[in-house]
Amino acid sequence: MILEIRTYRLKPGTGDEFVRVMREESVPLLEKAGIRVLDCGASLVAEGGHEEAYLIRAFASLAEHRDQEEAFYGSDAWRQGPREAIVSRIDSSHTIVLDVPEVAAHTFQRR
């Protein structure tokens, strides 16, 4: 299984709204598109005083990861939906992609 962990350093004062839009708008669209979201939310620690958030997703393979991301981020549902509300609050982001056993998904699954 492919596990993707995204972290976001957010613009000052935008953390609560970022997480709300992520949970209420973006995650339902991701799941509707067939992307398995394990968890998302605010970081418990603000590094350097910056609000931070995360998104953890799972994919069957690297090819599925690539194909589903291209389809989702190119879709009208994303571009005309929560895209601006999400992107406008991000100062920077970082993504790591790992090959892990399926049991790892259950460890991170909170949704």
Secondary structure of residue 92 in the 3-state scheme? strand
* Tokens matching residue 72: 């989702």
Each residue of 2-26: pLDDT tens digit? Answer: 999 999 999 999 999 999 999 999 9
Q: Is the pTM higher than 0.85?
A: yes
Q: What is the pLDDT of residue 49?
A: 78
Q: Are 103 and 3 in contact (CB under 8 A)?
A: no
Provide the CATH number for the domain formed by 2-108 in this structure: 3.30.70.100
Please name the amino acid found at residue 86.
I
- Overall average pLDDT of the 53-82 stretch: 96
- pLDDT band at 111; cut points 50, 70, 90: low
CA distance 54 to 52: 7
